[in-house]
Structure 1
Amino acid sequence: MNSNPMYMEYVDDVDPHPAPRRGWRILGWVCIGLSVVMVAGSLTAYGLYRQAFGNISHEDVNAQLGPNRPKKLNEAMNILLLGSDTRAGGNAKYGRSLKNDPPRSDTMILLHLSPGGGQAMGISFPRDLMVRMPSCKGRNGQTIPAQSRAQINSAFTNGGAACVIKTIESISNIRVDHFMQVDFNGFKTITSAIGGVPVCLPKAVNDPKSGLRLSRGKHTIKGEQALAYVRVRHGLGDGSDLDRIKRQQKFMGALASKAMSAGVLSNPKKLFALMNAVTKSLTTDKELTPDVMMDIAREMQGMTSGKLRFVTVPSGPDPQDPNRVALSDSAQPFFAAVRNDKTVPKEPKPGDTKIPPSQVRVRVFNGSGIDGQAGRVADDLESQGFQVTVGGNAPSITSATKVMYGSGADQQAQTLAGLIPSKPQPAARGQGGTPGVVDLVIGRNWTNLKSAGAGIPQQQGEIRASDDICKET
């Protein structure tokens, strides 16, 4: 950074003070899609069909989680959705030969409901994701010690929903408010009650293992055929976990879109059958009562399929094992965006000339004298959609935070300046600066970044429930 810059400068001139330091058994996807509907459906439906909630099983997980959990930062709701491959009861015919094996969960989705309603995001955690596993209480009451490296889907096998919640919270620092767990039972009833789920095959499939036989193109499937589609392992895609997650997200989006359509929510017979099918396969925490579900529904009333997004947690090949995946560098900024989601994204208004954060390139310099401050601020900026690099330490410690820009970045600087802790004041133009780039020098008076009101930035490869089912992703 040039010590004698020629840029327009904005200065935060507040009195300085020290800144604070601051998977998947695939049938689960189907019921999880319906779980989205349960928290986004009409209030009339909840009133008429509340009796269906009597089918839900409950589990007390609070005692196992303990007091040392992430703080709740806002009014968002985070619900962990789990698909269990238990072979109990009617699920036995689809199962493993060892009936006493503990159930597994290869479907782990954090359903994030934005404050104010109107938007939801399903965040998938791949079953092969390698993470640090916290200590958990096992199914037999024994304590399972923490592991520095373990596959995330082993959390459910080890200690059920509580262990998965502890694991997700430990790697993301996101507070999980509730959980919903579903199994195979009732799947065929669900797909039939909804009138079938639209799918689109890129090629003909004849898979003897799953029993799926479908021609290339669009189909509406239900019952046994839908069951075969969601269980197919090698007939579609490249067989990788991430590829199947992407396909399953499209399936779930199509299912949720169908369930949210007027043809289902406004049809008492269809809706009653649907609610019964869902609730008979559902286990939740004790705190997720019918009244809480109705409160959530009130918040989410009017949500459209275009506001229901599905993403996979930022991850890539595991350096230690090419057959596993690990969180990527962009995971923590993404988690920060979820934690700090305070408002629903606003649609741009006609004639609005404000530059969005996604089009602003920012370099962050540390002039606060606090180690790591530039990196923390960079993560917060990235979580709000800015293109960010860390420039290192400023030439000297400064009391005031500054926003400076080179030629052609005046509007971009205004976007950033509106988010620093207080209203900055313009100063004279000097020399230097990189064209098109905004420089942020963190001063000793830095507190925290304001919300851009942009919700969670669009993620690479995200899918919306309103997407064309034949769209290539």
Structure 2
Amino acid sequence: MNSNPMYMEYVDDADPEEPAPPRRGWRILGWVCIGLSAVMVVGSLTAYGLYRQAFGNIAHEDVNAKLGPDRPEKLNEAMNILLLGSDTRAGANAEYGRQMKDDPPRSDTMILLHLSPGGEQAMAISFPRDLMVQRPECEDREGKPVPGSGRVQINSAFTVGGATCVIKTLEGMTDIRIDHFVQVDFNGFKNITKAIGGVPVCLSKDVDDEKSGLKLTRGEHEIEGEVALAYVRARYSLGDGTDTSRIQRQQKFLGALASKVMSKGVLTNPKALLDLLNATTKSLTTDSELSVTAMMDIAQGMQGLSSGKLRFVTVPNGQDPLDKNRLILAPDAERFFQSVRQDKKPPEEEKKPAGTPTKATPTIPAKQIRVRVFNGSGTDGQAGRVADSLEAQGFQVTVGGNAERTTATEVLYGSGAENQAKSLAALIPSKPAPAAQTADAQPGVVDLVIGTDWTDLKGGQVGIPKQQGEIRASDDICKGT
């Protein structure tokens, strides 16, 4: 047996009913490195001008040429960054299992960091390693095509074709456009937790776990290095022993880590910040387009982000009926993906000069208004998306198809539907002109022609709804322990 204590602590990660190679345990380590990468992107990069040399440590990979043009359309101004953990044993990582140094790397850590439009919300969406998916055709690491597969674990995509294959798999499953990726190996983890002076955790009982090497008393602690490794990796001695329980504990750990970085002076302490950047950037690979300048732009756009607005969730899932040790997407997963695709910032209220008289607007209940939606925006699927928003507010909706492309959204109506049209027009922030009657509209029906200026309805959903089991970086570390 390998005498390296770090290696010995991570040989038991698989389910007891399903023996697995020891390498799987390292996904937990990647989880924590990934969390810090997220924090770095949305926080500490704002000071990069003083520490530009540290960013020279980052490796880059060109994936856009491999992905090609057939990708999901971007529906908003959000930024989606795929965060990957790699268990490569190359270079200094070889000490964590030299017998695996020639094995292809795996990624059991996949998180989609969604930075909302406006920069004041962020969500880290975790995809469990055991999620069964359809993997598309990908190129392997030597550029040779590998046929797609109809039913595989999601983590196999990285082994087959690296970050490019993971992006293709996730985009095909979620229809969410991924803008960048950040890949982390494991060697820097201990330095990262040390660089910030430890991460606060809370235990509800004494723990003495022989498998992970974790030995802590009940109560609050600040942990770093190998102790932090053992904490995020332990499974059967904490929680209910399931991988779901462990993921939630990891999310709390990452939330506490992010909260400390954002609020405890790390970003304003030159030495602490430089130590943090050096510990992190040496373990990063990104896409070629995620340059230092691009990182700076992202960071500047996220300056309004606080720890209370950094959310951690797991993609909606349930037990695979074909294998109790595997997972599949839950029926409500598509609704969740749609909320991410259509995430938006609140529409700005129109400012009128003081003393401007207000006009009374008819208020016909939505359920009494029949609407046909036509797409004049030139954006595929826009009419269907707007129809969904209208239906969510109670309107009776049908999709009328495409219209001639137009800049301005129009509200037209048939005979007898004037007040219904005015009621709908009052809910459209981008609607500059009054509703107009037209002979082309059916009697009693309102026609909504979507232009390129379309934003959304007033009162429509803003942001992503709260998810079951959601964790925020600002949560009490002892909550739920």
Q: Give the conservation status (yes or no) of the 8 Å contact 2:106–2:158.
A: yes
Q: Deviations over 1:416-455 (max 9, x none)?
A: 98369979x99xxxxxxxxxxxxxx997647588253621
Aligned to 1:238: 240
| TM-score, scaled to structure 1 | 0.76
Match of 2:469 in 1: 461
Which string of whole-angstrom CA distances, capped at 9 and with x for unpartnered residues, describes residues 213-270 of structure 1?
Answer: 1112211101121122122232222333322211111111111111112421111111
Counterpart for residue 434 of structure 1: none
Matches within 5 A, 1:227-266: 227-266=229-268
Aligned pairs for 1:17-416 (under 5 A) are 25-41=27-43, 45-95=47-97, 97-343=99-345, 380=389
Q: Report the alpha carbon displacement of residue 57 of structure 1 after superposing the two structures with TM.
A: 0.8
Deviations for 1:352-387, whole angstroms, at most 9, x for unmatched residues?
A: xxxxxxxxxx989998699x99996685579xxx69
Q: Deviations over 1:124-172 (max 9, x none)?
A: 1111111111110012322111112211111011110000000110011
Which digits, 9 at most, give the CA deviation of each residue in 1:65-116, with x for residues without a partner? 1110111222211000001111223323333743322111111000011122
Q: CA deviation at 1:26?
A: 1.2
In the aligned structure 2, how far is the partner of 1:197 from the partner of 1:61?
34
Aligned amino acid, residue 126 of structure 2: S
- Shift of the 90–415 alpha-carbon distance from structure 1 to 2, 3 Å rule, reads farther
Unaligned runs of 5+ in 1: 1-22, 347-361, 402-413, 427-440
Q: Aligned partner of 1:274: which letter? A: L
Structure 1 residues 367 and 40, CA gap change in structure 2 (3 angstroms): closer
DSSP-derived class of the 1:263 partner: coil
Q: Greater CA deviation, 84-93 or 110-119?
A: 84-93
Cα distance change, pair 274–415 in 1 and its aligned pair in 2 (3 A): farther
By how many angstroms is 1:292 displaced?
0.4
SS of residue in 1 equivalent to 2:285: strand
| SS of equivalent residue, structure 2 residue 159 | helix
What secondary structure is seen at the aligned counterpart in 2 of 1:157?
Answer: helix
Per-residue Cα deviation, 1:33-80 (whole angstroms, up to 9, x for no partner): 221222222566211111110010111111211110111222211000
Q: % of aligned pairs identical? A: 66
3-state SS in 2 of match to 1:32: helix
Using the TM superposition, give the Cα deviation of residue 192 of structure 1 relative to its aligned residue in structure 2, in angstroms.
Answer: 0.5
Alignment of 1:470 with 2:464, yes or no, is no
Task: Provide the rounded CA distance (Å) in 2 between the counterparts of 1:185 and 1:442.
Answer: 64
Matched, 1:418 2:432: no
- Local SS of the residue matching 1:235: coil
Distance in 2, matches of 1:470 and 1:281, equals: 31
1:34 is paired with a residue whose SS is: helix
Taking a change above 3 Å as real, the CA distance of residues 267 and 324 of structure 1, as seen in their structure-2 partners, is: same
Offset, 1:32: 1.8
Aligned letter for 1:128?
A: D
Write the distance in 1 (CA, Å) between the matches of 2:445 and 2:473. 40
Say if 1:332 and 1:267 are closer, same or farther in 2 by CA, change over 3 A: same
Structure 1 residues 133 and 298 mapped into 2: Cα distance closer, same or farther (>3 Å)? same
Compared CA separation, residues 421 and 302, structure 1 to 2 (3 A): closer
Distance of 1:298 and 1:392 partners within structure 2: 40
Aligned partner of residue 90 in structure 1, secondary structure: helix
Unaligned runs of 5+ in 2: 1-23, 349-365, 375-380, 400-411, 415-422, 436-443
Structure with larger RCO (C-alpha < 8 A, sep 6+): 1
Work out the number of aligned pairs and report it. Answer: 403
**Is the contact between residue 343 and residue 453 of structure 1 (CA under 8 Å) also seen in structure 2?**
no
Task: Tell me how far 1:305 sits from its aligned partner.
Answer: 0.4
SS at match of 1:342: coil
Question: Separation in 1 of the partners of 2:311 and 2:424?
Answer: 26
Corresponding residue of 1:450: 456
Q: Structure 1 residues 210 and 174 mapped into 2: Cα distance closer, same or farther (>3 Å)?
A: same
- Alpha carbons 1:343, 1:455 under 8 Å: kept: yes
Aligned-pair Cα RMSD in Å: 3.6
CA contact 2:428–2:456 (8 Å) conserved in 1: yes
Q: Residues 55, 42 of structure 1: CA spacing in aligned structure 2 closer, same or farther, 3 A cutoff?
A: closer
Q: Check conservation: 2:45, 2:299, Cα contact below 8 A.
A: yes
The letter of the residue matching 2:222 is: T
| Distance apart, 1:313 and its partner CA | 1.0
Whether contact under 8 Å (1:366, 1:373) holds in the other structure is no
Letter of the 1:148 counterpart: G
Alpha-carbon displacement from aligned partner over 1:307-344 (angstroms, at most 9, x marks no partner): 11111111112233222111122211211111112216
What's the secondary structure of 2:325's corresponding residue?
strand
User: Are residues 391 and 302 of structure 1, via their aligned partners in 2, closer, same or farther at CA, if it must alter by over 3 Å?
Assistant: closer
In 2, Cα distance between equivalents of 1:449 and 1:318 = 38
Structure 1 residues 210 and 391, CA gap change in structure 2 (3 angstroms): farther
Question: SS state of the match for residue 26, structure 1?
Answer: helix
Cα distance between partner residues in 2 of 1:420 and 1:149: 45
Paired residue secondary structure (1:159): helix
Residue type of the alignment partner of 2:472: R
Query: d(CA) in 2 for partners of 1:464 and 1:374?
Result: 34
Contact 2:44 2:273 in 1 (8 A): no
- Evaluate the alpha carbon distance shift between residue 266 and residue 203 of structure 1 in structure 2; reply closer, same or farther with a 3 A threshold: same
TM-score, with structure 2 as normaliser: 0.74
